[in-house]
């Protein structure tokens, strides 16, 4: 079989068109929407919502609730717990609200409680988790020490830029902006802009004044 670049131009054009049509068809067909068998595995899967194809690692769906008209981008991993089939102590473990968009390649990994509100937009490759390793025992490898969980909350109307990391115990308020590449470890109030690692608030909205740099 001839290599693609050695085909005559007309043949390459036809092959390219056909392959792109097939890819578009597979991408559309592979998405998970309400009523699909896979959507019924979730604890909740709202009207008009979509898991784009291809998905990342998605398991223990019964502990994951997705609201209405929410889009989870391609290659996004959604998980509750460490392994498929694990029984969890809370339900839901991960809740994503209505009209929220999770950018491609992101990871949302819940073990206790991850709450993501309504009307949230994220860039690609964000990472949100409510569990982290501990290192109190200096003689035991960190990976073998029992991790701890702390609730994570992301308020409605917020925007998380590309590559944001949200760690256990973090609370992000409503209509907040988290700059690209930031690492959120604590509290970001409503109507605030936070950047850096660890993220710190650099701007807040003051009623009657407007946005004010800190």
pLDDT at 4: 62
pLDDT at 1: 46
Q: Are 3 and 67 contained in the same domain?
A: no
Q: Are 24 and 120 contained in the same domain?
A: no
Q: Are 38 and 128 contained in the same domain?
A: yes
User: Residue 32 has what DSSP assignment?
Assistant: B
Q: Give the rounded percent of residues in the chain with a pLDDT score beyond 90.
A: 86
Contact 123, 161 (CB under 8 A): yes
pLDDT-based confidence at residue 3 (cuts at 50, 70, 90) = low
Q: Does 2 score more than 60 pLDDT?
A: no
pLDDT at 28: 84
State the DSSP string of 91-113: S-SEEE-TT-EE-TT-EEEESS-
Contact 179, 185 (CB under 8 A): no
Q: Are 22 and 39 contained in the same domain?
A: no
Average pLDDT score, the chain: 95
Residues 108-125: tens digit of each pLDDT: 999 999 999 999 999 999
Q: Which domain holds residue 25?
A: 1-30
Predicted model pTM: 0.90
**Active site positions, annotated:** 133
Q: Are 43 and 135 contained in the same domain?
A: yes
- C-alpha to C-alpha distances, 64 to 164, 166, 202, nearest whole angstrom: 21, 18, 33
């Amino acid at each position: 079989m001839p290599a693609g670049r050695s085909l005559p131009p007309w043949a390459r054009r036809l092959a390219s068109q056909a392959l792109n049509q097939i890819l578009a068809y597979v991408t559309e067909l592979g998405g998970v929407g309400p009523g699909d068998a896979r959507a019924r595995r979730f604890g909740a899967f709202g009207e008009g919502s979509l898991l784009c194809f291809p998905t990342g690692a998605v398991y223990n769906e019964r502990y994951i609730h997705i609201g209405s008209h929410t889009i989870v981008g391609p290659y996004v991993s959604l998980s509750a717990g460490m392994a498929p089939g694990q029984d969890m102590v809370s339900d839901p473990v991960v809740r994503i609200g209505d009209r929220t968009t999770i950018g491609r390649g992101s990871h949302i990994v819940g073990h206790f409680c991850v709450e993501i509100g309504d009307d949230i937009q994220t860039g690609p490759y964000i990472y949100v988790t409510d569990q982290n390793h501990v290192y109190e025992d200096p003689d035991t490898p960190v990976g073998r020490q029992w991790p701890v969980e702390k609730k994570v909350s992301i308020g409605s109307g917020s925007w998380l830029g590309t590559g944001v990391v949200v760690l256990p115990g973090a609370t992000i308020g409503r209509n907040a902006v988290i700059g690209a590449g930031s690492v959120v470890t604590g509290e970001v109030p409503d109507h605030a802009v936070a950047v850096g690692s660890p993220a710190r608030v650099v701007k807040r909205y003051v009623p009657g004044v407007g946005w004010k740099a800190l």
